[in-house]
Amino acid sequence: MKNYFMIIDGKPVFADSTFPVINPATGEAFAQAAAGNISHVDDAVVAARAAFPAWSSTPDAERQRLIHAIGAALEANMPELMELVTKENGKPLNGLNGVGSGMEVGGAIAWTHVTADLQLPVEVIQDNDEARIEVHRKPLGVVGSITPWNWPLMIAIWHVIPALRAGNTVVLKPSELTPVATLRFVELANAILPPGVLNIVTGRSGSGIGAAIAKHPGIDKIVFTGSTPTGKQIMQNAAGNLKRMTLELGGNDAGIVLSDVDPKAIASKLFGVAFNNNGQTCACLKRLYVHESIYEELCAELASIARKTIVGNGMSPETQLGPVQNQAQLSFVQELAEDARSHGARFLCGGRVMDGVGYFYEPTVVADVTDGIRLVDEEPFGPILPVIKYSDIDDVIRRANNSPNGLGGSIWSNDRAKAAELALRLECGTAWVNEHGAIQPDAPFGGVKQSGIGVEFGRYGLEEYTSIQTLKIMK
């Protein structure tokens, strides 16, 4: 069993003890990671602050070159990284509709190269006989990154690469449930970057490392992806020095299917966007509202697909859905399912933990539910989809918006113009027409309401790692 070390100031750092990393397909440890503590956070911040002046003044083209080199290193080590992601997260190598660890590592590579090529040119506001006014984007300093377990490598890339591109240095803390692919990425990157530019600290649950990063006076910005309650704690902890922050928090995304669609034609796509990564994606479709005229037919089509879906260990090439990532999340999915059952929900398929080892739950489609029960109102983050009947479009838009979350939403219709008009009425950061959850490295992504603060990706996301300095030169 391999032991994975932290990296601080470009050097491997071993802690006094390690903690096990569990493969959710087996319920057993497959690796050990260094059990760091708050003192390691302090060391990492010192290293990052020391590295910042030289890194921030490195010529822009050289920073680009080094980030492209990181992308190349990821690509050269893609099979190893895929295996690590599958073993620690559970997502299949290939996965349902190609959404698996291959997509995660491939996406990480693509995001790295696209972000490397982003530019933040000087903006000229005024240039006349009186004065020239320029707007410059400057790096913030040290960025603290806290990443979740559902897309461990991809989200680390989303945090780290734009921070580096803008000229910041980084202290990274991955989830204690899925640290190994991220540790390997940081090891690869440190063979390319100057010491101290990218540091990683790992620790057990309850180690206080995340809170220490959020509170640390030597950290200038926090970027966090995870639950809304944890995001609120980070905001409170970060208030001490008024850290900048980007928070991508919980979503309970609604999709609305209009009456003009053919259920057979869209069922497979709807199933994919609801169940990819076992439903463990912030921007998965999690509440499906279907017009009463096609409700039963679409429910039947979804259930038929679910019954045929291959669930198993992600290391098997034919597996489409793997396990729920951890026992606590599996228990939460069970809890929501049983609550729905007690309210008279109709389970069209699934609805139980699978026999054998690992944290497996059957792909589950639930009908005859409505707003007000937990399965609809709370984000399950697992392989279970509530399908809700509606009759009036204005009412269903209101119901979709009646949520504290506002990450994504979608409209499904053959009339794209009408669907786009309705999509703009959804209270969410991204709205899709005949799609859900599709993101790309050059288009901004983020939530409204309690789904987050700020955006990621593209120029808009890169700007969040900078401060504005206005320069006025009198003529």
112-141: per-residue pLDDT in tens?
Answer: 999 999 999 999 999 999 999 999 999 999
| Dihedral of alpha carbons 315, 320, 326, 331, sign | negative
Strand partners, 112: none
Tell me, what's the pLDDT at 148? 98
Strand order in the sheet with 28-34: 2-4, 28-34, 18-23
The answer to the question of residue 304 being in a domain is yes
Question: Quick one: which H or E segment has residue 290?
Answer: strand 287-291
- Residue at 145: amino acid letter: S
Tell me, what's the pLDDT at 320? 98
Joined together, the tokens standing for residue 345 give 């929900």
Cα dihedral 298, 302, 303, 304 in deg (nearest 10): 100
pLDDT in tens, 179-211: 999 999 999 999 999 999 999 999 999 999 999
The answer to whether 349 touches 362, Cβ cutoff 8 Å, is yes
The answer to whether 282 touches 248, Cβ cutoff 8 Å, is yes
The answer to whether 277 touches 246, Cβ cutoff 8 Å, is no
The answer to the question of residue 444 being in a domain is no
The answer to the question of residue 322 being in a domain is yes
Joined together, the tokens standing for residue 46 give 């010192």
pLDDT in tens, 161-179: 999 999 999 999 999 999 9
- Residue at 366: amino acid letter: V
pLDDT band at residue 346 under the 50/70/90 scheme: very high
Tell me, what's the pLDDT at 234? 97
Tell me, what's the pLDDT at 351? 97
The answer to the question of residue 440 being in a domain is no
For residues 37-55, average pLDDT: 98
User: In a 3-state reduction of DSSP, which class is residue 279?
Assistant: helix
Same-domain pairing of 326 and 213 = no
- Residue 414's domain comprises 254-433
Nearest CA to 451 among 229, 244, 148?
A: 229
The answer to whether 219 touches 244, Cβ cutoff 8 Å, is no
Same-domain pairing of 66 and 178 = yes
For residues 270-284, average pLDDT: 97
CATH of the domain at 456: 3.40.605.10
Tell me, what's the pLDDT at 383? 98
Same-domain pairing of 296 and 204 = no
Same-domain pairing of 181 and 303 = no
Tell me, what's the pLDDT at 278? 97
pLDDT in tens, 382-410: 999 999 999 999 999 999 999 999 999 99
The answer to the question of residue 408 being in a domain is yes
**In 370-459, beta strands by DSSP E:** 384-390, 408-412, 430-433, 452-453
Tell me, what's the pLDDT at 339? 98
Same-domain pairing of 460 and 426 = no
Tell me, what's the pLDDT at 128? 98
The answer to the question of residue 439 being in a domain is no
Residues 6+ apart with CB under 8 A from 207: 35, 36, 37, 38, 176
| Dihedral of alpha carbons 296, 298, 301, 305, sign | negative
For residues 369-389, average pLDDT: 98
How many other C-beta atoms can be found within 10 angstroms of the C-beta atom of residue 374?
17
Look at the chain and report how many structural domains it folds into.
2
Same-domain pairing of 134 and 118 = yes
CATH of the domain at 277: 3.40.309.10
Same-domain pairing of 191 and 279 = no
For residues 313-341, average pLDDT: 98
Same-domain pairing of 81 and 117 = yes
**Whole-number mean pLDDT of the chain?**
98
Tell me, what's the pLDDT at 280? 98
- Give how far the C-alpha of residue 204 lies from the chain's centroid of Cα atoms, to the nearest Å: 21
**Residues with active-site annotation:** 248, 282
For residues 276-304, average pLDDT: 97
How many angstroms separate the CA atoms of 218 and 243, rounded? 10
Question: Quick one: which H or E segment has residue 349?
Answer: strand 346-349
pLDDT band at residue 471 under the 50/70/90 scheme: very high
Nearest CA to 70 among 150, 189, 241?
A: 189
Same-domain pairing of 81 and 124 = yes
The answer to the question of residue 66 being in a domain is yes
Same-domain pairing of 140 and 125 = yes
Tell me, what's the pLDDT at 388? 98
Strand partners, 445: 456
How many angstroms separate the CA atoms of 140 and 137, rounded? 9
Tell me, what's the pLDDT at 109? 98
pLDDT band at residue 458 under the 50/70/90 scheme: very high
Same-domain pairing of 188 and 267 = no
**pTM higher than the cut 0.95:** yes
The answer to the question of residue 442 being in a domain is no
Nearest CA to 87 among 147, 189, 2?
A: 2
Helix and strand numbers (H, E) in the chain are: 15, 21
Tell me, what's the pLDDT at 182? 98
Same-domain pairing of 125 and 29 = yes
Burial class (CB in 10 A: 0-12, 13-18, 19+), 417: exposed
For residues 228-235, average pLDDT: 96
How many angstroms separate the CA atoms of 306 and 347, rounded? 12
pLDDT band at residue 93 under the 50/70/90 scheme: very high
- Give how far the C-alpha of residue 285 lies from the chain's centroid of Cα atoms, to the nearest Å: 14
